[in-house]
Amino acid sequence: METFLLLMNGIGTALVPLNLGLLIFGCLIGLFVGAMPGLGSVNGVAILIPITFIVPPTAAIIFLAAVYYGAMYGGAISSIMLGIPGASTAVATVFDGRPLAQKGDAITGLTAAAVGSFVGGTVSVILFTLFAPPLAKVALAFNAPETFALMVMAFATFVGLGGDDIPKTCFSILIGLVLSTIGLDLISGQPRLIFFGIPGFLHGVNFLVLAIGIYGIGEMLWTLESTKGAVQISSIKFTFKDIIQGFRNLKDTVMAMTIGSFLGFFVGILPAAGATPAALMSYGITKQLSKNSKDFGTGVPAGVVAPECANNSASTGSMLPMLTLGIPGSPTTAILLGGMILWGLTPGPLLFTQQPEFVWGLIGSLYIANFFTLILNVALIPAFIMVLRIPFAILAPVIFVLCVTGGYAPTQSIHDVWLMLLFGVVGYVLRKLDYPVAPAVLSIVLGPLAEKAMRQSLIISDGSFNIFFDFSIKPIAATIMYIALVFLFLPLISVMKNKLFPKKT
């Protein structure tokens, strides 16, 4: 009851004209920032921080959270319409969103993204409202061994779901893992795999550089080859009925929404994970558990819903460790945290009791931001669809420019632009040879997290792997680890079964 009153107060705070105006403005900026490759919520929030000095802290956090939130929606737009991940969090949205658009069903893709984001955002903010303080304790109990077990589970789902060709999937995962080890080694402090001594490799291979290269450039080459520069989809009918149909197409995505919302939130509250791994893991697990997992990657609505649901859910979730522990759960919340400190607030266990107006105003604003972005997105679908009417000969240079800026922005180094173009060509060749590229993208995101967690655990356990498998040492880690092993071996068992006992025809 007390929570309810606090929440109502919070929603009241968010509806104050100044706050509401900033919220709507923030959502719009976020949509734009998210949709533009290379801007992304991190840069958006960082650029806007100085503006927030002129308003009170509550209004400031509402504004920045709205930008963050809007960006989670916006990232899906360019992923679906252009095949370029607009933001790192929307990479998994490309996997099925792009094929949907190419099949002429972009409306379903965009509706799935909007609704998925709304559901994920709403579920997570409810979880946040009800369970924030106890969940903060869960986040504290989730240390290195648990994190590593969770990462193993994520990899296991991806091995399993290559489905048709496990060796090629493993190859792709390993390529990603090798790329993820480039740069500075966290434990020994030594540089690793600095090819030809080029200093640009010191900061490692940014995962957006790989994703934009493979999907943006690779996709562009592929489309140019197949369409010869013509309009991609000749006739796009667009009526109100189509949007209704788009909503209907989502009836099979309940499981994706459930997995995306809860997994997303959970991964989000773990410090230093954030929305990108959440979206990728949610996609993998949904695919693994789906009845028609073979169709994933060819354009199924559930493949869009799962990551979109998860990234919104995780973005709310990652505010929890930021507010209660003072630890950012994602790069964007790291900037938000910097902002809070500048506004004179000390994040930490006492923030909820010392600054209730600030905390609950933020939570209240998330409810309202959710509604507003859903309406905005559905209303703007006709405008987004227009993109597909442009001949590809005109669209391709635009995509190319967006890719180059997107590759340059994260680290501001021209080295990464060349690398991105190289990955584009490699991605195109891999596609021609029928290699799945999604696992490589997954492993470059999760690889560093997994490596760090494993090595931290092994230092603590003096090199003993029991820390991951022994229930008496780390029960949570062991449980997750065994589930992961089941995920890993299930598909192998079914493959072997088919080989040993071929079905009689």
Partner 1 sequence: MNLLKKVAILFVSFSLVAVGTVSAKDFKPKKPIELIIMAGQGGGADEIARLVQGIAEKNDFTSKPLIPINKPGGSGGEALTYVKGKSGDQHTIMITLNSFFTTPQNQTELGIDIIEDYTPLARLLTDTFMVWIKKDGAKTSGINTLDEFLARAKQGDLVMGGTGKMSEDELLLGMMRGMFGFDAKYVPYSGGGAVAKGLIGGESDFTLNNPSEQMGFYQSGDSKALVMMTPKRNPAFPEVPSSYELGYPDLEYYMMRAFVAPADIGAEAQKYYTGVLHDVYMNNEFQKFNIDDGKLLSWIEGYGLSDFFAVEYDKHSEIVAAFN
Looking at residues 208 to 247 of the shown chain, list those that interact with partner 1 (rule: CB under 8 A). Answer: none
Contact with partner 1 (CB under 8 A) among 15, 411, 473, 476: 411
Number of residues in contact with partner 1 under rule CB under 8 A: 51
Long-range contacts of 349-352 (CB under 8 A, 24+ apart): 349/136, 349/324, 349/325, 351/323, 351/324, 352/132, 352/133, 352/323, 352/324
Backbone angles phi, psi at 68, to 5 degrees: -60, -45
270 scored as a contact of partner 1 (CB under 8 A): no
Alpha-carbon span 438 to 143, nearest angstrom = 27
Q: Which residues contact 47 (CB under 8 A, 6 or more apart)?
A: none
**Angle at alpha carbon of residue 67, lines to 66 and 70, rounded to 5°:** 80
Among 53, 371, 465, 471, interactor with partner 1 by CB under 8 A: 53
Cβ atoms of 222 and 431 within 8 Å: the answer is yes
192 forms beta bridges with 183
Query: Considering the complex, what minimum distance in angstroms separates the CB of residue 380 from partner 1?
Result: 31
Tokens coding 207? 């995962």
Q: Give me the least distance between CB of 188 and partner 1, in Å please.
A: 6
Of residues 4 through 33, those in contact with partner 1 by CB under 8 A are: none
Please, which residue, 227 or 456, has the CB nearer to partner 1? 456
The minimum distance between CB 478 and partner 1, in angstroms, equals 16
Q: For partner 1, which is the closer residue by CB, 21 or 199?
A: 199
Given the complex with partner 1, which of 208 and 335 has the nearer CB atom?
335
Please tell me whether residue 407 binds partner 1 under the rule CB under 8 A: no
Closest CA to 468 of 478, 476, 479, 482: 478
Is residue 6 within 8 Å of residue 14, measured between CB atoms? no
Beta strands in 193-320 (DSSP E): none
* 380 counts as binding partner 1 under rule CB under 8 A: no
Cα–Cα–Cα angle for 435, 439, 442, nearest 5°?
150
- Here's the x/- map for partner 1, 298-337, by CB under 8 A: it reads as -----------------------x---xxxx--x--xx-x
Q: What is the contact mask toward partner 1 in residues 445 to 474, using x (rule: CB under 8 A)?
A: -------x---x--xx--------------
Q: What is the DSSP string of 74-133?
A: HHHHHHHHTSS-SSGGGHHHHHHHHHHHHTT-HHHHHHHHHHHHHHHHHHHHHHHHHHHH
**Interface with partner 1 in residues 191-210 (CB under 8 A):** 191, 199, 202-204
Q: Is 111 exposed, middle or buried (0-12, 13-18, 19+ CB in 10 A)?
A: buried
Q: Residue 396 CB, nearest distance to partner 1 (Å)?
A: 30
Site string for partner 1, 121-140 (x = CB under 8 A): -------------------x
- Closest by Cα among 412, 366, 286, 447 to 72: 366
Among 12, 21, 348, 475, binds partner 1 (CB under 8 A): 348
Distances (CA, A) of 150 to 145, 227, 277, 461, 485: 9, 42, 11, 18, 11
Residue with the two structure tokens 């931001």: 369
Residue closer to partner 1, measured from CB, 60 or 153: 60
Q: Which stretch binds partner 1 (CB under 8 A): 184-192, 308-316, 375-383, 478-486?
A: 184-192
The nearest distance, CB 355 to partner 1, in angstroms, is 12
| CB nearer partner 1, residue 199 or residue 397 | 199
Based on CB atoms, which residue is closest to partner 1, 5 or 460? 460
Tokens (6 digits) for 237: 């009918």
Please report how close the Cβ of residue 335 comes to partner 1 at its closest, in angstroms. 7
CB of residue 465 to partner 1, shortest distance in Å? 17
Please say which residue, 134 or 344, places its beta carbon nearer to partner 1. 344
Instruction: Rule CB under 8 A: say whether 412 interacts with partner 1.
Output: yes
Look up residue 157 and give its two tokens.
Answer: 């789902």
Of 120, 213, 271, 303, which lies in the binding site for partner 1, with binding defined by CB under 8 A?
A: 271
55 binds partner 1 (CB under 8 A): no
Q: Please tell me whether residue 292 adopts helix, strand or coil conformation.
A: coil
Q: How far is the CB of 255 from partner 1 (least distance, A)?
A: 32
State the nearest-atom distance from the C-beta of 297 to partner 1, in Å: 33
Secondary structure (H, E, C), 409-435: CCCCCHHHHHHHHHHHHHHHHHHHCCC
Q: H or E segment at 147?
A: helix 144-161
E strand or H helix at 206: none
417 part of the interface to partner 1, by CB under 8 A: no
User: Is residue 476 part of the contact set for partner 1 (CB under 8 A)?
Assistant: no
Q: Give least dist CB 2 to partner 1, A.
A: 20
Site for partner 1, rule CB under 8 A: 42, 46, 49-50, 53-54, 140-144, 183-191, 199, 202-204, 271-272, 321, 325-328, 331, 334-335, 337-338, 341-342, 344, 346-351, 411-412, 452, 456, 459-460
